[in-house]
């Protein structure tokens, strides 16, 4: 079975979820940077839903998602750093 096309609905839905998670983490990072406390349970739940959606995709989908996942990972690393700074 060939991998899905980039415009396939399931790929677009997962890309939207990846971007949403990255945006949520960016907002959380901004709040942390400004000295506000953030609740991470919502992020954990959103990440779990994304992982479940990723697990349902065709195996050949990874190349279509890798750039967005890389961006999301970088945002996670920035949030992690913000949370660790005094």
pLDDT of residue 80: 96
Query: For residue 59, is pLDDT > 90?
Result: no
Does residue 46 contact residue 21 with C-beta atoms inside 8 Å?
yes
pLDDT of residue 47: 94
Query: For residue 2, is pLDDT > 80?
Result: no
- Above pLDDT 70, what percent of the chain? 99
Average pLDDT over residues 62-81: 96
pLDDT of residue 61: 92
Query: For residue 52, is pLDDT > 90?
Result: yes
């Amino acid at each position: 079975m060939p991998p899905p096309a980039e415009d396939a609905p399931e790929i677009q839905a997962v890309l939207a979820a990846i971007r949403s998670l990255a945006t949520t983490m960016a907002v959380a990072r901004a709040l942390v940077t400004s000295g506000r406390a953030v609740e991470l349970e919502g992020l954990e739940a959103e990440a779990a839903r994304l992982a479940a959606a990723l697990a349902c995709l065709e195996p050949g989908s990874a190349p279509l998602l890798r750039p967005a996942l890389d961006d999301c990972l970088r945002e996670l690393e920035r949030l992690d750093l913000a949370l660790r700074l005094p």
